[in-house]
Structure 1
Amino acid sequence: MALLRKSLLEVMTPFVQPKRFRGKINIQRPKPPHFVKSKYLEICKPFYASQKKGKTMTELCGFNMNRKDEVIENPFQRIIANEVLTYFQTSKLVAFYHVNHITGIDQFKAMVMFHKEGMRMKFIGKKTLEMAIKETPYEAVLDFFISRNMIVFSSEPKIKELIKINRKFPQFVLLAGIYENKLLNLDDLVKYSKIPNLETAQSMFVHTLNASANRLHRQLNSRQTSLLALLEDRKKQLDGDN
């Protein structure tokens, strides 16, 4: 009786698993909505005015030549520009290079060699250089700065040492230089490098003066020396006769 009552009063809990009638939803190709719903969706779609409307092809070009961006001056760039101008004004020799591909090790070696000769090797951007030497006597050198360039400042006119270092690093192409406030090309720099320094020129000049003085002294004393030689010979002849 107890078993019968238990089987009649027990509540059975069925196992339910929901399942879509026609498989999975296609996310990439969803089913189009009903015709009425699609009309309402099209009416409720937001409308934005096109920014390209009424513009010419030149204005729609990505690179607009007439576009003027707002120029914001960088204080740090101004400090570097003033420092560069000071280098130009205090250096007796300024050399301009075009830099081809070079490894970092070779570039460091070149910088060390320039430093040993008392020269500064600087990589300066065109905007910074233009800010430094615009409306100055050095403005003509801006034409060199088209691609990657380098400047070497020297407090002494060591053109010979500059050419010597340049031969060891063919990646640095010497374009021109400023010497004695004159812009010189490569041929002029090579010509100046063959001129000896001041001490050597002074010693050569002194040697020339001494040689001229010695030659003049010999020419002035040549007749007296000849006369003394003849008198000595005559004296020996007379002594021999006695």
Structure 2
Amino acid sequence: MFCRLEVKLTALSSSSKNTETAGQPLSRQIFQQQKRFRSKINIQRPRAPHYERAKALEFMTPFFSDPKANKSPIELCGLNKKYEKMQKVEVNPYKDFLARECLNWFRSSRMVGFFHENSMTMDDKFEFAVPLKKQNIYIRFYSSPVVRAAVTNTEYEAIIPLYCSKVLTVFSPDCNVTKMHKISRKFPQLILMAGILDGHLLNRNEFLEYGKMSLTSARVGLVQTLQNAGGINLNQQLTHHQSTLVTRLGQIGTSETVIEESDK
């Protein structure tokens, strides 16, 4: 068959003028077909490796101990180590002095206000401090570490979460909530968050509402309500049993003294 094909190609090449058109190259294409694996691959329980591969894996297994074997994810976290480093308390005499001053302001002030401070120039702060000082209200700037060192293990420890950002603190020995709120409304950079009145930490609404109240008028109204509910002789009704007991004891005491004098 090869001989016949060779003779035929030779004849065609001799008779044709163009040898390139005499024969065409044979196409050689590789036929590929994908087949599914015979069994399903088990990811949770894989098959044991081949003997040669098992030897290679055993040879590459490290023989030294892993330093991270018995450590929890918290101990391996780099951010946790950075946080512990930040939490270390550094001994600083100036910081202790500021902490004592801050605690003294809290304990000697009847009213304390906490303002969240946005971007604000020193000129605006000065304009805010001047009218406050005329009303016997003073501004103080304390950082979060100083406040934490000052109020830890005290009755003011609940204010520590307020100092997670930049906070402006105002102190006053008097209850000047209305005047302070009227002045702060002119400065939109300051947002009132909470306050302390008479040793009680209040939120913004309670702080403003309690500051507007007059204790004298409230007490007078309470007394009038009690008198109207119990009648005009409310005081006598409340102290009836005590006064009766005192009079009876007085009578017994006087009768005994009279009997002793008569015996003599």
Distance 1:193 1:67 in 2: 41
Q: State the match for 2:95 in structure 1.
A: 77
Q: State the match for 1:93 in structure 2.
A: 111
1:113 aligns with 2:131: yes
Distance 1:135 1:125 in 2: 18
Distance 2:78 2:110 in 1: 48
Superposition TM-score, scaled by structure 2 size: 0.50
1:158 aligns with 2:172: no
Greater RCO (CA < 8 Å, at least 6 residues apart): 1
User: Helix, strand or coil: the match of 2:120?
Assistant: coil
How many angstroms does 1:119 deviate by? 1.3
Distance 2:200 2:139 in 1: 20
Contact map agreement 1:163 1:193 (CA 8 A) in 2: no
User: Helix, strand or coil: the match of 1:132?
Assistant: helix
Q: Deviations over 1:110-135 (max 9, x none)?
A: 01121111111111001011111100
Contact map agreement 2:196 2:207 (CA 8 A) in 1: no
- Counterpart AA for 2:81: N
Superposition TM-score, scaled by structure 1 size: 0.55
Distance 1:99 1:123 in 2: 11
- Counterpart AA for 1:159: V
Q: State the match for 1:132 in structure 2.
A: 150
How many angstroms does 1:170 deviate by? 1.4
Contact map agreement 1:94 1:152 (CA 8 A) in 2: yes
Q: State the match for 1:189 in structure 2.
A: 207
User: Helix, strand or coil: the match of 1:173?
Assistant: strand
- Counterpart AA for 1:104: M
Name structure 2 gaps, 5 residues minimum: 1-65, 225-264
Distance 2:202 2:77 in 1: 46
Distance 2:165 2:210 in 1: 27
- Counterpart AA for 1:162: M
How many angstroms does 1:65 deviate by? 3.8
How many angstroms does 1:64 deviate by? 3.3
Distance 2:141 2:191 in 1: 14
Sequence identity percentage:
29
Distance 2:158 2:175 in 1: 21
Moved over 2 A (4+): 54-72, 192-198
Q: State the match for 1:167 in structure 2.
A: 185
User: Helix, strand or coil: the match of 2:90?
Assistant: coil
Q: Quick one: structure 1 residues 79 and 193, their matched pair in 2 at CA, closer, same or farther if it must change by over 3 Å? A: same
Distance 2:188 2:127 in 1: 13
Distance 2:76 2:149 in 1: 30
How many angstroms does 1:159 deviate by? 1.0
- Counterpart AA for 1:120: Y
1:64 aligns with 2:50: no
Q: State the match for 1:46 in structure 2.
A: none
- How many aligned residue pairs are there? 150
Distance 1:84 1:62 in 2: 31
Q: CA RMSD in A?
A: 3.0
Name structure 1 gaps, 5 residues minimum: 1-53, 209-242
Distance 2:192 2:125 in 1: 15
